[in-house]
């Protein structure tokens, strides 16, 4: 396994109170279609360094977007699950006496007809003010959070985040140590929840899997048409980085981990052939076998194949050959923005 690049944002979780005299403490919350995630971090003591140390973290699958595609609304059960998770986040934020924070919501809240009522309810029951961010801002935060894993010697990068309700794709230009420049971004209404809702996720026939790949492949061709990315790939001038539960799960499967380990997964590099083998391995399993997999479990067993299909479509269109895996994204992007304000 390739060793991860040095990580500017040290995410080692060490639960402790905000000691007097320590750096300012910040919180970043990302409420997606499938997950509710929180990081609490302290600015690193080195003056001028773009870094932070995570002191607490929380992640829970809430499936906020359950049934959204069919009804256009957030259902009561999904809202109740999500508010329960947000109450835990609010308690953690209070305990650490956070001095700066940003709490964002993405695709499910962008699409739901009853989102305004949900946000009011969240504010009343948890005290948290959620900010619904645009797809452009979502892509920017993903890129900012993953930037430490990009190879600055390669002039271009494709960065993507396969979410629950959408997939964010960014085409970047890199110039030394300067911030990556986003030349284009695309938000696809294809995520692991939305595709699984339409195609099924428990028992996925080969023809169904192929249909998912074809649908996503057709949707992302617009970016290729605008930029001719394949020409840059042929010249060896493109790297690819993926930030999502799909790519981290496939990395864990490839590594045959007995349980998920972020330190083993974040920053590792897999060939497209290794990714395909891991995907095919999961596709050949029954739903029950995926449930019993230590790096998947009940909550992701019916979603992971849709993620594999999205990833396969990206790899088919843009044959970079290798993918760097990032167990980081929006929250890290938020924190870097907060600590460097």
**Same-domain check for residues 319 and 175:** yes
Residue 263 domain-assigned (yes or no): yes
Tens of pLDDT along 20-68?
334 789 999 999 999 999 999 998 766 455 688 999 999 999 999 998 9
Task: Walk along the chain (341 residues) and give the pLDDT tens digit of each residue.
Answer: 333 333 334 343 333 434 433 478 999 999 999 999 999 999 876 645 568 899 999 999 999 999 898 899 999 999 999 999 999 999 999 999 999 999 999 999 999 999 999 999 999 999 999 999 999 999 999 999 999 999 999 999 999 999 999 999 999 999 988 899 999 999 999 999 999 999 999 999 999 999 999 999 999 999 999 999 999 999 999 999 999 899 999 999 999 999 999 999 999 999 999 999 999 999 999 999 999 999 999 999 999 999 999 999 999 999 999 999 999 999 999 999 998 87
Kindly report the three-state secondary structure assignment for every residue of the chain: CCCCCCCCCECCCCCCCCCCCCCCEEEEEEECCCEEEEEEEEECCCCCCCCEEEEEEEEEECCCCCCHHHHCCCCHHHHHHHHHHHHHHHHHHHHCCCCEEEEEECHHHHHCCCHHHHHHHHHHHHCCCCEECCHHHHHHHHHHHHHHHCCCCCCEEEEEEECCCCEEEEEEECCCCCCCEEEEEEEECCCHHHHHHHHCCCCCCHHHHHHHHHHHHHHHHHHHHHHCHHHHHHCCCEEEEEECHHHHHHHHHHCCCCCCCHHHHCCCEEEHHHHHHHHHHHHCCCHHHHHHCCCCCCCCCCCHHHHHHHHHHHHHHCCCCEEEEECCCHHHHHHHHHHCC
Residue 73 domain-assigned (yes or no): yes
What is the pTM assigned to this prediction?
A: 0.89
CATH of the domain at 107: 3.30.420.40
Residue 19 domain-assigned (yes or no): no
> Residue 217 sits in which domain range?
151-329
**Same-domain check for residues 294 and 235:** yes
Domain count, the chain: 2
**Same-domain check for residues 262 and 335:** no
Tens of pLDDT along 73-101?
999 999 999 999 999 999 999 999 999 99
Residue 140 domain-assigned (yes or no): no
């Amino acid at each position: 396994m390739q060793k991860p690049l040095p990580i500017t944002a040290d995410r080692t979780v060490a639960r402790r109170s905000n000691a007097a005299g320590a750096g300012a403490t910040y919180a970043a919350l990302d409420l997606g279609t499938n997950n509710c995630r929180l990081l609490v971090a302290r600015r690193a003591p080195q003056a001028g360094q773009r870094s932070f140390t995570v002191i607490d973290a929380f992640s829970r699958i809430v499936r906020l977007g359950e049934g959204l595609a069919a009804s256009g609304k957030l259902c009561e059960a999904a809202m109740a699950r999500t508010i329960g998770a947000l109450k835990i986040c609010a308690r953690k934020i209070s305990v650490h006496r956070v001095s700066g924070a940003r709490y964002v919501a993405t695709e499910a809240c962008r699409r739901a007809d009853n989102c305004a009522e949900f946000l009011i309810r969240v504010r009343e029951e948890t005290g948290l003010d959620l900010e619904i961010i645009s797809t452009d801002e979502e892509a920017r935060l993903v890129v900012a959070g993953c930037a430490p894993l990009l190879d600055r010697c390669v002039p271009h990068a494709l960065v993507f985040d396969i979410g629950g309700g959408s997939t964010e794709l960014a085409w970047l230009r890199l110039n030394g140590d300067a911030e990556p420049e986003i030349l284009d971004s695309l938000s696809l209404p294809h995520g692991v929840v939305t595709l699984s809702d339409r195609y099924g996720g428990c028992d996925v026939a080969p023809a169904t899997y192929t249909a998912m790949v074809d649908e996503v492949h057709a949707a992302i061709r617009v970016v290729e048409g605008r930029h001719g990315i394949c020409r840059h790939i042929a010249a060896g001038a493109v790297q690819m980085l993926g930030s999502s539960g799909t790519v981290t799960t496939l990395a864990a499967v490839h590594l045959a981990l007995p349980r998920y380990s972020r330190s083993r997964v974040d920053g590792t590099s897999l060939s497209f052939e290794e990714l395909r083998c891991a995907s095919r391995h999961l596709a050949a399993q029954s739903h029950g076998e995926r449930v019993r997999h230590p790096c998947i479990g009940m909550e992701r067993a019916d979603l992971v194949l849709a993620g594999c299909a999205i990833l396969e479509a990206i790899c088919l269109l843009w044959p970079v050959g290798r993918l760097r895996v990032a167990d980081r994204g929006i929250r890290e992007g938020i924190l870097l923005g907060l600590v460097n304000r």
